[in-house]
Amino acid sequence: MSNRQSDTRGEKALGLFLDHYFYPKLCEIEGFNTVKRVYDANEQKLGADIHIVLPRGETLVFDEKAQLHYINAPRRTFAFEVSYYNDETGGISDGWLVNNDNKTDYYVLVWIDSARSDQLNRIVEDDFNEITVAAVAKKRIIYYLERLGYPVKRIKKISRDMRFNNNKNYFKLSEDAFLYFTKEGYEEKPINIVIDRRILWTLASGIYKVDRKNCVKL
């Protein structure tokens, strides 16, 4: 089973936790009008998990990304997908960070600080105790990489070279960001950009600590 399939239960359980304990409080804190979860599979594939309506009527598209494989031991980084092996097409596809077809405006990045279980095949909403959430605009991440000298076009070229033309699985972008090619353990064999959490927090529109009783903006 691919990691995309095995993560589905964890994503659904975490989604329920976010729906009950994060998004209602987010609307209160930030003054948003409404939050609506997206259930259409085609929209989800285009990076739409949540629609948030602003007071002026504009709708923002949020894509949830969580460190489901690091429950109770969150990493001080976050990985953003650049390319992966697509078993449906039998070829290499653009990852969600650089896919121009995606509708995402913001990423909801989730670090799972505390949970009663880390078993994704049987985790449920009630298992989550405390999470840290950062809402980061996709365009701000792209702009950050451009300022480092790595626009999307160059990142894609480096990714192709790593996959097909050399044996490297690591490419340093800066002291706080690098490309990493996971060759083993994942059927998708993804190449990700890994960015330090400290940088992501400077790029974030908001950072929140969430449990069942409170949602606090840090």
Tell me which residues of the chain have a pLDDT lower than 50: 1-2
Number of folded domains in the chain? 1
Q: What is the pLDDT of residue 121?
A: 87
* Residue range 3-20, pLDDT digits in tens: 555 578 899 999 999 999
Q: Is the dihedral angle over the CA atoms 25, 77, 184, 45 positive or is it negative?
A: positive
* Residue range 62-107, pLDDT digits in tens: 999 999 999 999 999 999 999 999 988 989 999 999 999 999 999 9
Contact partners, residue 51, CB within 8 Å, separation at least 6: 35, 36, 38, 59, 60, 61, 62
Domain with 28 in it? 3-217
CA distances from 168 to 132, 153, 171, 176 (A): 33, 19, 7, 19
